[in-house]
């Protein structure tokens, strides 16, 4: 008995849960694991849609054979995305079904050739191309840079199912529940979906918006992403979240992130947070950048309008963990936040000054002058903490 799930009469989920890998893309922690979703359509023609990470399943081929039958071949392998967490098993599939047609766009094939050396059996599609499987008619939608150059989606005109690749995907394994109506989304998956979006796809938010434009007016009953739950009960929920995140829409709240070697910058973070609370802000999060993984920090920044960053001086710059965060934010092109800055130093400074250079680069709305404190914060420093908190609250209330 293989672990496959029927989505409809002819469409099956044949994915795999990965609870072993520590770091996705060897960077992003997976405390709750991740699923790799692969789909199979068994019609007059058979079509596999995306494969699995290499080695993630020892019975993947058995699942396919079990569903299509021993005597049939696989007609098409549709490749929406070539990143190895989905293309890693292509070679294995081609070895078993050497006549399978590889369905992709011109950019897909460039990567296939680079990865596997395959030059034959290509079935090239373009935006709007259709493929007839018998009962199911598929249409291809080019959605480049969500989040690789070759990314595309496959829309099933018959059952109105959208095979969306990484778009609408989520960290976290599928623990029994596969569909959105079988899981606790808000209590469990939503944080992991935003962490996935912000860290993996978020840099290309403008391309996500372009993809939304292409999908405008398309009647979608079901969204089948390559990671996380399948959406069939409330597709508008996941569409709404991705739309909101890709437009950098945030909530009223403040995340304070600091780098502190000996506790002085940390003291100011707590002081600012207390003042924010006294002024009515309920959603306040404080993180030590040296302890909390970058992916969680970016997730929180994607959530809240207010961001307050602090750093002690370190060799005339900011603490390297804060430098890593700010450099990543610049690289991602994160937009539209209110910003407060603070820091401390023992001799020449550098933490707050470097944070100010970050602000100049990203052009977030600086709510007040940066605070830079020499030595242990005194009453004057804490009064300045209150000035940052007051300015942040004033602007938050005006904007959100």
Per-residue binder mask for ligand FEO (CB under 6 A), 105-144, x = binder: ----------------------------------------
C-beta closer to ligand FEO: residue 225 or 351: 225
CB of 227 to ligand FEO, least distance (A): 6
Residue 48's contacts (CB-CB under 8 Å, 6 or more residues apart) are 38, 39, 40, 64, 74, 76, 77, 78, 93, 100
Q: Which of 78, 73, 69 is nearest to 112 (CA)?
A: 78
Segment interacting with ligand FEO, rule: CB under 6 A, options 82-90, 260-268, 321-329, 383-391: 82-90
Residue at token pair 């130093």: 345
Q: Which of 16, 18, 75, 85 binds ligand FEO (CB under 6 A)?
A: 85
Per-residue binder mask for ligand FEO (CB under 6 A), 218-247, x = binder: --------xx--------------------
Q: Which of 16, 43, 75, 83 binds ligand FEO (CB under 6 A)?
A: 83
> How far, in Å, are 55, 122, 190, 344, 352 from residue 313 at the CA level?
45, 56, 36, 6, 7
212: helix, strand or coil: helix
CB of 19 to ligand FEO, least distance (A): 16
140-169: contacts with ligand FEO (CB under 6 A):
147, 166
C-beta closer to ligand FEO: residue 111 or 131: 111
**Is residue 81 close enough to count as binding ligand FEO by CB under 6 A?**
yes
Residue 98's contacts (CB-CB under 8 Å, 6 or more residues apart) are none
CB of 38 to ligand FEO, least distance (A): 11
Segment interacting with ligand FEO, rule: CB under 6 A, options 8-16, 80-88, 302-310, 385-393: 80-88
Residue 101's contacts (CB-CB under 8 Å, 6 or more residues apart) are 75, 76, 77, 121, 122, 123
**Is residue 300 close enough to count as binding ligand FEO by CB under 6 A?**
no
CB of 28 to ligand FEO, least distance (A): 11
| Cα 135 to the center of its chain, rounded Å | 34
Q: Half-sphere exposure of 28 toward its Cβ, with a 13 Å CA cutoff?
A: 21
**Is residue 86 close enough to count as binding ligand FEO by CB under 6 A?**
yes
Alpha-carbon distance of 357 to 359, in angstroms, equals: 5
Q: Which residues pair with 35 in a beta bridge?
A: 17
CB of 133 to ligand FEO, least distance (A): 24
Q: Which of 106, 209, 200 is nearest to 147 (CA)?
A: 200
Interface positions with ligand FEO (CB under 6 A):
81, 83, 85-86, 147, 166, 226-227
């Amino acid at each position: 008995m293989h672990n496959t799930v029927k989505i409809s009469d002819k469409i099956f989920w044949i994915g795999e849960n990965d609870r072993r890998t520590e770091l996705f893309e060897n960077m992003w922690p997976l405390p709750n694991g991740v699923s790799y979703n692969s789909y199979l359509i068994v019609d007059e023609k058979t079509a596999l849609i995306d494969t699995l990470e290499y080695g993630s399943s020892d019975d993947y081929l058995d699942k396919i054979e079990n569903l299509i039958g021993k005597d049939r071949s696989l007609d098409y392998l549709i490749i929406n995305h070539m990143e190895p967490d989905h293309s890693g098993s292509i070679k294995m599939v081609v070895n078993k079904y050497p006549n399978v047609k590889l369905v992709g766009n011109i950019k897909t094939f460039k990567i296939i050739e680079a990865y596997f050396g395959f030059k034959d059996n290509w079935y090239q599609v373009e935006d709007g191309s259709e493929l007839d499987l018998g009962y199911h008619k598929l249409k291809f939608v080019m959605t480049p840079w969500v989040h690789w150059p070759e990314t595309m989606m496959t829309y099933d005109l018959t059952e109105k199912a959208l095979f969306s690749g990484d778009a609408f995907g989520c960290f976290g394994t599928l623990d029994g529940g596969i569909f959105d109506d079988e899981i606790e989304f808000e209590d469990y998956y939503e944080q992991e979906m935003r962490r996935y979006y912000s860290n993996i796809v978020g840099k290309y938010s403008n391309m996500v918006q372009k993809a939304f434009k292409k999908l405008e007016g398309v009647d979608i009953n079901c969204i089948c992403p390559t990671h996380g739950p399948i959406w069939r009960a409330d597709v508008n929920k996941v569409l709404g979240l991705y739309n909101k995140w890709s437009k950098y829409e945030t909530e009223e709240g403040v995340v304070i992130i600091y780098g502190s070697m000996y506790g002085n910058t940390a003291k100011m973070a707590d002081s600012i947070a207390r003042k924010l609370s006294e002024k009515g802000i309920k959603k306040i999060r404080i993180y030590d950048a040296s302890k909390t993984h970058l992916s969680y920090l970016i997730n929180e920044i994607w959530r809240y309008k207010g961001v307050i960053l602090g750093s002690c001086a370190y060799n005339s710059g900011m603490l390297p963990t804060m430098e890593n965060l700010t450099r990543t934010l610049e690289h991602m092109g994160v937009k539209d936040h209110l910003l407060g800055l603070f820091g401390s130093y023992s001799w020449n400074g550098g933490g707050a000054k470097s944070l100010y250079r970050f602000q100049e680069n990203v052009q977030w709305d600086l709510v007040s002058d940066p605070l830079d404190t020499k030595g242990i914060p005194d009453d004057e420093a804490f009064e300045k903490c209150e000035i940052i908190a007051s300015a942040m609250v004033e602007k938050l209330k005006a904007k959100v």
